[in-house]
Structure formats: structure tokens, C-alpha cells
Amino acid sequence: MGITAVPMLLSLYLSFTNYDALSDFSAVEWIGLDNYREMFTADASFWHAVRVTVTFALIAVPLKLAAALGVALLLNRAFRGVGLFRGLFYLPSLLGGSVALAIVWVNMFNRDGAFNSLLGLFGIEGAPWVNDPRFALETLMALAIWQFGAPMVIFLAGLKQIPVELYEAASVDGAGPWRQFRAVTLPMLSPVIFFNLVLETINGFQGFTSAFVLSNGTGGPVDSTLMYTLNLYIKGFTELRMGYASALAWVFLVAIALITVVLFSTGRFWVHYADGEDR
């Protein structure tokens, strides 16, 4: 308890100061809401980082969940080697936020990387994806989406829980595969979808490692990958403005909490719990 609470309270305090990490604590001055005021009214990099992060989350999270669900549906049947395929699709997310993976990704999407060689086979000339401000963020999104293994495994477990009788009954009633998916699979799976959505949204907003590696800790090329957490790191460590960085962290915490609350409140309208009365 103390291990979490004390640093958190200290950081909340510091967010109202001009703390710079290096000076003695005696030099720390209370500056009231100045950090917060600067953030919202004067700091262009703050709003830019918010835009980058929201764009990233809005695109990467739904696509990642869609990919996870799609592959889970394909792998939710018995055929030879299904275990192997499940393992292979899960593998990328085991590597998680690893630095090594991000480095490999950057090299793959260079101008002379593997991806462009592949495009070359079809006579397409690729762009210098990671080194071009127009595509750098998209490259990071692709990396995030590719790591759909974790939600996929959870979807698979959820799919196994859906009673076979429901599908049998549906098909007796003349429902085709699409109809079955819409009327049986989706509602029955909705608690799992909801769980994955909340987790992945939070994950998406917190993306740091890949952006850090791709841009060497700068958010470049020209701020195109300046994720919120990366901006926070730059303010704290490169510019040594720890007080300001603490303020950024608290705003971030509140924003994520709000987003989670919003997700939960929409959940009432589309999440069906099997043991609830709305079955």
C-alpha cells in the first residue's frame, strides 16, 4: 500500500511544482496550477501528442480486436495442426512490448527493408515507411495490430463457452452462418469482447516502447510518433521538467479513467451476461 501510495502522492504534489529532478528539494517551488495551465493553453506538443495517441488508439484497437476475433473464429474448430496455428498466432504477443521486436519491425519497414522487397516482387515501389512522417505512425499501428494473440486466446476461450445447442437450434430455425454469428456468437461473446476492448484500449493509450525505439526517443520523424507517454518521457528526462511531467501523468491517469468509465456505461447497451435476466 505504502509502496504505491507514497510515490503517487509525491508525484501529485510535484505536479504543482517546478521540480526538475536535479536540484535539491529545498529549491522546489509551489507554482499552483501553472503546469496544468501551460499544458492546456500554451503547450502545442501536448495537444499534438494527444492527437497522435487518440488517432493511434482509435484505429489500432478496433482493428486489433477484429483481427483477434476473426482468427479466433477460424481456429475455433477441430482440424489437424490447429494447436500449432494457435501457437503461431499467439507468439507475437508473447514478445509483447519488447525492444528487440520493435527493432526488427523498424528494419522490416525501412526503405530497403523486407516489406518493400516483398512489394517489389509485385512491381510496387514502397515508401520509406518508418522514416517518413506520413507513414511512421501507421507502421506502429500495424505492429500493434499484428500482436493480436492475447485477445485472440481470450476470444477462443469465450467461443468454447458458447453452448453448441444454441447453434443447433439456430440452424433448425434456418439461420445461415452469418445470421448465427450475429444472433448467437456476438451476443454470447459480448462480455469477452467488452473485457478485451477495455484492456486493449488502455494498452493502446499507453503505447511507448515501439514509438521510443522507432524514433530513438524523440517522437520523430517530425513528431509523427509523439505518443502521449513518449512526450511525458521527453519532458521529464530530456528537458528535466519533472514537475510538468508529473502533471502530464496525472492528466493521463484521469483521461484513461474517464474513457474506462465511458466504456462501462456504454456496456449496458450491448453486453449480455448469460446469467442475467436479459437472456
Partner 1 sequence: MHRAPSSRAVEPTTRHHRTAFSGPGLRRRLLAALVAIPLALAAAACGDDGGDSAADPNKPVELSIFWWGAEGRAKLTEDALALYTKKHPNVTFKKTWQANQGYFDKLATLTAGGDAPDIFQIDDNYLTEYASRNVTLDLTSYKDGGKLDVSKFPESLVNYGIVDGKMAGVAFGENTQGLVFNKTLLDKFKLPAPTTGMTWADFITWAENVSKTAKVPGTQDPSADYKAFWVWLRQQGKDLYKDKALGFTEQDVAGWFELWKGARDRGATPTADVIHEGNVTDISKQLVVTGKASTSWVWANQMPELKKNTKDELGVVAYPGDPSAQWARASMYFSVFRGSEHKDIAVDVINFLSNDPEAAAVLGTDRGLPSNLDIRKAVSSTVSDANMKVAIQVQTELGAKFGASPQVPLKGHSKVRAELIKAAEEVQFGRQTPAEAAKAYFAIAQAAIGQA
Site residues for partner 1 per CB under 8 A = 6, 9-10, 13, 18, 20-25, 27-32, 34, 38, 41-45, 110-111, 128, 131-133, 216-218, 220-223, 234, 237-240, 242
Helix, strand, coil shares of the chain, percent, nearest 5, are 70, 0, 30
- Rg of the Cα atoms in the chain: 23
Closest distance to partner 1 from the beta carbon of 40 (Å)? 12
User: For the purposes of burial, counting CB atoms within 10 Å of the CB of 220, is it exposed (0-12), middle (13-18) or buried (19 or more)?
Assistant: middle
Closest distance to partner 1 from the beta carbon of 137 (Å)? 14
What sign has the CA pseudo-torsion 132, 137, 141, 147?
Answer: positive
Of 244, 257, 211, 249, which Cα lies nearest the Cα of 230? 211
Residue 24 vs 165, nearer CB to partner 1: 24
Closest distance to partner 1 from the beta carbon of 34 (Å)? 6
Residue 194 vs 212, nearer CB to partner 1: 212
Residue 9 vs 261, nearer CB to partner 1: 9
Please state, in angstroms and rounded to a whole number, the distance separating the CA atoms of residues 275 and 278. 8
Write b or e for each residue in 25-45: b if 16 or more Cβ atoms lie within 10 A of its Cβ, otherwise e. eeebeebeebbbeebeeebee
How many residues in the chain?
A: 279
Residue 35 vs 196, nearer CB to partner 1: 35
DSSP secondary structure code for residue 25 in this structure:
G
Closest distance to partner 1 from the beta carbon of 96 (Å)? 20
Residue 90 vs 244, nearer CB to partner 1: 244
Closest distance to partner 1 from the beta carbon of 210 (Å)? 16
Residue 191 vs 220, nearer CB to partner 1: 220
Closest distance to partner 1 from the beta carbon of 207 (Å)? 19
